[in-house]
Amino acid sequence: MGRYMNIMLAALLIVTGVLVFLPSGYVSAGGMVCNQSFEEGVGGNVTSWNWTGNAARVDTGPIYVGNWTARITGENDTFTQWLSIGNITLPLTFEGWGWMCVSGNVTGKIELDFWTGVNGTKLSSTTELSANDTDGIYIQRASIMQSPVGSTCVRIRLLGTGWDEGGEVRFDEIGFWPPAGGLCFIATAAYGTETAGQLDILRDFRDQVLLKNALGSRFVETYYKVSPPVADFIAKNDFLRAVVREALIDPVVNILQWSQSLWRA
């Protein structure tokens, strides 16, 4: 059985390798996890985030990964990050999440919305993840959202509302990612829909095989980092969609269907 797993994993890696080595201009988008533990930075300054007021990166001792957290203490304190997601030509599903430690009479918020361009046109309503006093511990908030067609970036804001004296909000592990049951970007572009039956077996193989071992998990992480702009390129060309679907994706799906008794839980 292990031999068959290696063969199937190799086939998927080959498919992704072919797609990844398309012209580099189509694979330039970055990853989709936003400075998760706030370890990246110098002193109070946080890498990749813009901040206002007295917002700062602070060393609070061990949290989840490392010691650093993002802290706000007043109405004018915010952190903002603009995250590139390529040029979305199909509605795509994402999950946003974050951990908050809230003290005092204040509501901590993580806001996410989709835009065309940085500070360009806002295309979606704002998804809010919020928490009130958490009794000195970090709690997680998460939500599923869909990006409108034409989205090129997501804006993530960390802030607080309803401030009272002595209030404080700390943020950690902020993330934005396709959910565990979410889309296979390149395959979705090739089939032109996220409901194609072939996608179900690809998702099942990802969840039941790839995500349960280190090599497979690294493959999935890399795929989610590079595939949105590749999928966008494929979706714009009917001929390329057909080639990717019939010459690359369909054979992999056929192998997985044929061998599913070996790997399906």
- Shared domain check, 163 and 48: yes
**Is residue 199, in this structure, part of any structural domain at all?**
yes
User: Token pair 């590749």 is at which residue?
Assistant: 230
| Tokens linked to 48 | 């990749």
The answer to whether the beta carbons of residues 208 and 265 sit under 8 Å apart is yes
- Shared domain check, 104 and 72: yes
Supply the range of the domain harboring residue 59.
41-177
pLDDT band at 114 (very low <50, low <70, confident <90, very high): very high
Selection from 63-72, 167-176, 231-240, 255-264 with the highest mean pLDDT: 167-176
- Shared domain check, 50 and 8: no
Enter the pTM of the model. Answer: 0.62
> Which comes out higher in pLDDT, residue 28 or 85?
85
- Shared domain check, 210 and 162: no
Name the domain count of the chain: 2
| pLDDT exceeds cutoff 80 at 178 | no
Query: In the prediction, which pLDDT does 185 show?
Result: 64
pLDDT band at 129 (very low <50, low <70, confident <90, very high): very high
Look at residues 136, 155, 177 and tell me which one is the last residue of a structural domain: 177
- Shared domain check, 159 and 224: no
**Is residue 34, in this structure, part of any structural domain at all?**
no
Q: Tens of pLDDT along 187-243?
A: 777 777 665 677 778 878 877 787 777 777 677 767 766 676 677 677 777 888 888
- Shared domain check, 67 and 129: yes
| pLDDT exceeds cutoff 90 at 74 | yes
Which of 81-90, 115-124, 253-262 has the least mean pLDDT?
81-90
**Whole-number average pLDDT of the chain:** 78
Query: In the prediction, which pLDDT does 124 show?
Result: 96
- Shared domain check, 218 and 240: yes
| pLDDT exceeds cutoff 90 at 107 | yes
- Shared domain check, 158 and 213: no
| Tokens linked to 11 | 């086939």
Query: In the prediction, which pLDDT does 24 show?
Result: 29
> Which comes out higher in pLDDT, residue 21 or 232?
232
**Is residue 222, in this structure, part of any structural domain at all?**
yes
- Shared domain check, 161 and 75: yes
Which of 88, 202, 227, 193 is closest to 145 using CA atoms? 88
Which of 140-144, 157-161, 260-264 has the least mean pLDDT?
260-264
- Shared domain check, 145 and 61: yes
Q: Tens of pLDDT along 3-12?
A: 554 544 455 5
Q: Tens of pLDDT along 23-45?
A: 322 222 233 555 556 888 888 88
Look at residues 177, 200, 225 and tell me which one is the last residue of a structural domain: 177
Which of 111, 104, 101, 10 is closest to 63 using CA atoms? 101
Rounded CA-CA distance 10/15 in Å is 9
The answer to whether the beta carbons of residues 252 and 12 sit under 8 Å apart is yes
Query: In the prediction, which pLDDT does 116 show?
Result: 94
Q: Tens of pLDDT along 40-50?
A: 888 888 888 99
- Shared domain check, 185 and 161: no
**Is residue 136, in this structure, part of any structural domain at all?**
yes
**Is residue 112, in this structure, part of any structural domain at all?**
yes
- Shared domain check, 223 and 99: no
